[in-house]
């Protein structure tokens, strides 16, 4: 009872409590716990919830898909989410600093950084295209309504006649409304105005991934706007982004609700929702359905990206991250289900007007966001208003994830360098990372950009994430030791992890992760885009991107073993796996129990000779590292003038 009261008193944010100064004055903390929860919801709830989950649901048995989906949420999603949050919060470090738990596995942190870099590059390009559609929707007539534009081809067939009424003849003559349903396109040889607007005007797509063509200047301008918005929101780190998420994480739900209410009042909407939810129970016995459910949970929650560890590192030490992990995970999955109603009510309306099955207008990914749904919106009265709302929602969903991706990289860099100057000038690091991200995204704004974007989406963050997450589980549970970690969590929360989570962390979640990896390999098919088949050299680049994050793990492990003291390989390996002396709570006030500092030198002298030598080696390395950081700090300070001592309180040990 006393432990629970103690945990409650020390919890990060109690509603109505007066504003306190940061617990960790050196790194900073969230203003309150609501900011952390909203940021994590914004991070987990992204574009995939809108343009991937509804499609997976109807393709894998409708309502029957919910069963494996929620089973995977309980046994894999929530436990992994809780593991990463507790990991980052306990050490108060980003995705690199936490690996003091077992220095040999620091390559996992570098792998997370590589994955976040890839995703951050192409994710912001998707956001910038949403910006472009948002700006072009500020008109009386959406430009993809009719087929009488300079970019249209003779094959174009609209669903609305020039007089503004539904073009029933053309609508019945063609079933090729949606880009991405290649069978329909091949059969009818007709295309919709929204598809031609997307391919021939917005992208001006080239015929091959190697044919870059010219940079699409409107898209490039929107990319600059997108990166500028992200930088402004992160200009003060979590202090500024924590305020922005009050809007970016909540407003999409208002838009979803508005679109849902509008959607269910349309003719044919019920048919679309039935198609989305009608259970096909025989599919529950299909292994592919379970594989899709596990993969969607894993990728949707953002596990192994490094973002969860980073966001949790700014929590106060005794915050109840167990409660947060359950709230955020369930909110994420509920949002996916809710978005399905919004999407399929509109698609059902469009299918009703075209007299075609819902399956022929259903799509996912960019095909849904920039072709199918915009086409459906042209059938609604005041269509520009609904288009503005839809693309504004996509922008906010994307920005919520992008904030965390950028903060993950910045926090890792700042924590790794660790000098006082870099801590005070974190904004410079944020600006530098944003500029580099913008420059690396420029090739994706060329005429071949969509090919590269889909290549990165399919390979950069696919099976590599699964491998990273599996190794993280093995390291924490078996190398560091599950008993040690359970004690750490109990010291932080005031109560041990529930038995269910202990079992999941040690056995069930690693098995499910391994299943996802095997499923991904078995189900692998070379990427295509509509009728375009990617050449072999581009697939090789895709695999290289996927392996670039995984290869960090063995390379750093070998490096760490080679630099570790010891006469034999076994001794070096044992030393490299052992937790660093600095592992544990970041603040001295929280380093109690086995993390309490040694009382006297007698404790050191009483150790065996081999341990004393290892300890001396560690101390020498720490002294060298400290000298190096001091030199860097002094050099930078000398070139930058005097420092503001009054703005830099002495950090806790």
Task: Confirm whether residue 647 is marked as ligand binding.
Answer: no
Task: Confirm whether residue 332 is marked as ligand binding.
Answer: yes
Q: Name the residue with tokens 């009608």.
A: 278
Task: Confirm whether residue 159 is marked as ligand binding.
Answer: no
CB-facing half-sphere around the CA of 139: CA atoms within 13 A: 12
Task: Confirm whether residue 45 is marked as ligand binding.
Answer: yes
HEC states along 366-411?
HHHHHHHHHHHHCCCCCHHHHHHHHHHHHHHHHHHHHHHHHHHHHH
HEC states along 238-256?
HHHHHHHHHHHCCHHHHHH
Task: Confirm whether residue 300 is marked as ligand binding.
Answer: yes
Closest alpha carbon to 410 in 549, 237, 632, 651: 237
Angle between helices 217-233 and 238-248 (to 10 degrees): 120
**What is d(CA 177, CA 638) in angstroms, rounded to the nearest whole number?**
64
| Other Cβ atoms closer than 10 A to 212 | 15
**What is d(CA 306, CA 162) in angstroms, rounded to the nearest whole number?**
51
**What is d(CA 53, CA 296) in angstroms, rounded to the nearest whole number?**
7
User: In this structure, which long-range contacts are made by residues 421-429, counting pairs with CB atoms below 8 Å and at least 24 apart in sequence?
Assistant: 421/632, 421/633, 421/636, 421/637, 421/640, 421/643, 423/26, 423/27, 423/648, 424/643, 424/644, 424/647, 424/648, 426/237, 427/235, 427/236
* Alpha helices in 46-141, H assignment, sequence order: 47-51, 53-59, 66-72, 78-91, 106-136
Q: Output b/e per residue, 346-379; b: 16+ Cβ within 10 A.
A: bbbbbbbbbebebebbbbbbbbbbbbbbbbbbbb
Alpha carbon 426 to its chain centroid, in Å, reads 22
Closest alpha carbon to 97 in 310, 256, 377, 262: 310
**What is d(CA 301, CA 555) in angstroms, rounded to the nearest whole number?**
28
Task: Confirm whether residue 606 is marked as ligand binding.
Answer: no
H/E stretch holding 9 reads helix 2-10
- 366 near 126, Cβ under 8 Å? yes
Task: Confirm whether residue 397 is marked as ligand binding.
Answer: yes
* Alpha helices in 181-280, H assignment, sequence order: 182-188, 193-196, 217-233, 238-248, 251-264, 269-277
**What is d(CA 490, CA 95) in angstroms, rounded to the nearest whole number?**
22
Q: What size, in residues, is the chain?
A: 653
- 275 near 62, Cβ under 8 Å? yes
Annotated binding site: 42, 44-45, 49, 300, 332, 397
Annotated binding site for Na(+): 42, 44-45, 49, 300, 332, 397
């Amino acid at each position: 009872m006393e432990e629970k009261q103690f945990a409650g008193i020390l919890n990060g944010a109690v509603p109505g409590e007066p504003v306190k100064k940061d617990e960790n004055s050196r790194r900073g903390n969230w203003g309150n716990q609501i900011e952390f929860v909203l940021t994590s919801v914004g991070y987990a709830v992204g574009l995939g919830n809108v343009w991937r989950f509804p499609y997976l649901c109807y393709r894998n048995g409708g309502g029957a898909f919910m069963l494996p989906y929620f089973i995977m949420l309980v046994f894999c999603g929530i436990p992994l989410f809780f593991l990463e949050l507790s990991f980052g919060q306990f050490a108060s470090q980003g995705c690199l600093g936490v690996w003091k738990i077992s220095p040999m596995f620091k390559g996992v942190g570098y792998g997370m950084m590589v994955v976040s870099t890839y995703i951050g590059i192409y994710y912001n390009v998707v956001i910038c295209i949403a910006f472009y559609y948002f700006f072009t929707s500020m008109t009386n007539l959406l430009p993809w309504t009719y087929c009488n534009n300079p970019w249209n081809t003779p094959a174009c067939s609209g669903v609305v006649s020039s007089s503004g009424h539904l073009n029933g003849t053309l609508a019945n003559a063609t079933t090729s409304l949606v880009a991405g349903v290649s069978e329909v396109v091949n059969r009818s040889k007709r295309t919709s105005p929204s598809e031609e607007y997307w391919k021939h005007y917005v992208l001006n797509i080239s015929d091959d991934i190697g044919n870059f063509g010219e940079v699409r200047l409107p898209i490039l301008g929107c990319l600059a706007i997108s990166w500028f918005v992200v930088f402004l929101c992160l200009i003060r780190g979590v202090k500024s982004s924590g305020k922005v998420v009050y809007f970016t994480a909540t407003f999409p739900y208002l838009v979803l609700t508005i679109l849902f209410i509008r959607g269910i009042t349309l003719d044919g909407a019920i048919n679309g929702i039935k198609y989305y939810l009608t259970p096909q129970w025989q599919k529950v016995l299909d292994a592919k359905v379970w594989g899709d459910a596990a993969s969607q949970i894993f990728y949707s929650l953002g596990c192994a990206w490094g973002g969860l560890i980073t966001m949790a590192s700014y929590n106060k030490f005794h915050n109840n991250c167990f409660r947060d992990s359950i709230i955020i995970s369930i909110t994420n999955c509920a949002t996916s289900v809710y978005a399905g109603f919004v999407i399929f009510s509109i698609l059902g309306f469009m299918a009703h007007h075209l007299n075609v099955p819902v399956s022929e207008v259903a799509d996912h990914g960019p095909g849904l966001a920039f072709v199918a749904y915009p086409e459906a919106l042209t059938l609604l009265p005041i269509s520009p208003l609904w288009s503005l709302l839809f693309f504004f929602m996509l922008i906010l969903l994307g920005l919520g994830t992008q904030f965390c991706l950028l903060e993950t990289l910045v926090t890792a860099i700042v924590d790794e360098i660790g000098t006082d100057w870099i801590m005070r000038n974190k904004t410079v690091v944020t600006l530098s990372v944003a500029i580099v991200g913008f420059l690396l995204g420029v090739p994706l704004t060329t005429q071949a950009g969509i090919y590269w974007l889909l290549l990165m989406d399919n390979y950069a963050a696919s099976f590599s994430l699964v491998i990273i997450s599996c190794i993280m589980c093995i390291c924490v549970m078996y190398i560091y030791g599950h008993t040690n970690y359970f004690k750490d969590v109990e010291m932080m929360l005031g109560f041990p992890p529930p038995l269910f989570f202990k079992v999941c962390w040690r056995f069930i979640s690693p098995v499910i992760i391994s299943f996802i990896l095997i499923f991904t390999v078995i189900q692998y098919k070379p990427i295509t885009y509509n009728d375009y088949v990617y050449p072999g050299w581009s697939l090789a680049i895709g695999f290289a991107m996927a392996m670039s994050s995984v290869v960090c793990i063995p390379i750093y492990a070998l490096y760490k073993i080679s630099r570790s003291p010891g006469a034999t390989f076994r001794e070096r390996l044992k030393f490299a796996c052992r937790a660093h002396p600095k592992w544990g709570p970041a603040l001295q006030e929280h380093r109690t129990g086995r993390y309490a500092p040694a009382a006297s030198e007698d404790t050191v002298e009483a150790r065996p000779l081999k341990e004393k030598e290892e300890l001396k080696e560690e101390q020498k390395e720490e002294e060298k590292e400290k000298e190096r950081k001091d030199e860097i700090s002094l050099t930078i300070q000398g070139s930058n003038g005097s420092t503001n001592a009054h703005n830099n309180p002495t950090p806790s040990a």
